[in-house]
Amino acid sequence: MSKTTEANQGQKAGSAKIKTVAVTSKTDENRSVEISGGFIEFRYYESILQDGIMGTYMFQDAGDAVDGKSVVEGLPLTGSEVLQFAAEDNFENELKATFIVRKPSPLSDDTRKTVVHLPLVSEAFAINDQKNVRKLFPKQKISDHVKTLMSEFLETEKTLDIEDTSNDLKEYGLNRKPYFMLNTFAKKAQPSGGEGQTAGYFFFETSEKMIFKSIDSFFDEEKNPRKKSIIYNETNNREGLPAGYDYKALSYDKEGGDVVEMAKMGAFTTASITFDPINFNFKRTIISAAKDIFTDVDDAIEPLSTAAKELTSFNPNLQKEFTRTTMSFIDTGTFSENAEGSKEKNFDFANVYNQSIMRYNQMFAAKVNIMIEADFSLHAGDMIFFDAPSPRKDTKNDEVDKQTGGLYIIASLCHYITPDRTLTKLCLIRDSHGRQGNHAKR
């Protein structure tokens, strides 16, 4: 932890209230043991780039926990057991999650107690590795296929937050894993009303939901209302919190995207080459994030729902041609059941897939990392308004940074809990630059 963080420890960063940490035998559902008594440390992880929630739990395993034996020996605890976790932060927000224990790892040993480290994954994560998708998904909306995968194959009982898609798709499971299918559908999905403009979804899990939503919806404050407004400055604790902010960040650092690398990966312009085996035709389609850069551009994906004022761009004097090329066979007629459907295109690879590539690479154009007093109400994908002081010689200036400040989404978070403190680390990202909107507006 940085020196700045130590100096600015907030009033609400003290220990959380651990309500329960119960692990249940995998052979006897009625045999459960509470292990919160030996609690040492808990870390909880969510990310829009992570299919399932994860965590780690560390505790002292006393020798008389179960029938005069340790938990590891008496339960026994060998892996794939269910662990129920519940805690409350100092804002009275509750974090509840069900995990599967991966591999219990003793870290120290003596005759009276052992320190045990438990890597944890979600139930859906564990089920994914045990299931293969051998199903024909009929020609219907991709969002309908996603609902089937989540409820039937991953067997989740969590709330399903699935944004409706505009494009239909027919697909074979081909013995692939549910997570693989969900991420494949995410690259091929296009939101309603987004035809010809943008594409690309994210699939991930939080402690409360299974989520499948478009990139644009995350950056649209009407569809994804901001959760909190946070500021970072040099004053200690919660003294002098400006009006309109919920609390102060304890530490802060920022970094911009590598624009050269973004360009190479296709963030600004892409080309697709498709081959139609029916008529042996090759076609090249070029898509650009901005108009009037190339004379042979087929489509431009603006306007977009961006978090800030200006979409990150590449120097037009250096942009000579498209920087990434994809190739694909057109599957016209592949899934047809009659002669009428033999000329029907199943998926618009040239436009939808390449639009997804561009948006995935654009959305990490700006990144901010902050540490805050633990807030269990926050989740990956939530929108945050963040401000930091404008860099000046006078460190006490109150003017906010007009380039860095503004709306971000939470790309990933980690809740860190010990008996002494509770903190949340947030990685905030956005696709554009320039402060837009106001921190006090909800």
One digit per residue, the tens of pLDDT, for the chain of length 442 reads: 333 444 444 567 788 899 999 999 999 999 999 999 889 999 999 999 999 999 999 999 987 778 888 899 899 999 999 999 999 999 999 999 999 999 999 887 666 678 999 999 999 999 999 999 999 999 899 999 999 999 999 999 999 999 999 999 999 999 999 999 999 999 999 998 755 567 899 999 999 999 999 998 998 889 999 999 999 987 655 556 888 899 999 999 988 778 888 778 877 888 888 888 777 888 888 877 765 444 455 544 445 566 666 667 766 777 777 778 888 887 776 666 655 555 677 788 777 888 888 888 888 888 999 999 999 999 999 999 999 887 665 555 567 888 888 999 999 999 999 999 999 999 999 987 778 877 876 5
Single-letter code of the amino acid located at 166: S
Cα–Cα nearest to 249, from 430, 429, 90, 385: 385
Whole-number pLDDT of residue 144: 97
Whole-number pLDDT of residue 2: 39
pTM across the whole model:
0.88
Whole-number pLDDT of residue 389: 83
Whole-number pLDDT of residue 54: 98
CA distance 318 to 108: 57
Q: Which residue has the tokens 């293969």?
A: 132
Whole-number pLDDT of residue 393: 53
Q: Evaluate whether 302 touches 289 at the Cβ level (below 8 Å).
A: yes
356, containing H or E segment: helix 354-362
Whole-number pLDDT of residue 318: 72
Q: Evaluate whether 358 touches 287 at the Cβ level (below 8 Å).
A: yes
Whole-number pLDDT of residue 398: 62
Whole-number pLDDT of residue 274: 84
Q: Which residue has the tokens 């897939």?
A: 353
How is residue 256 written in tokens?
């911009």
Q: At what angle do helices 354-362 and 178-188 cross, to 10 degrees?
A: 100
CA distance 292 to 42: 52
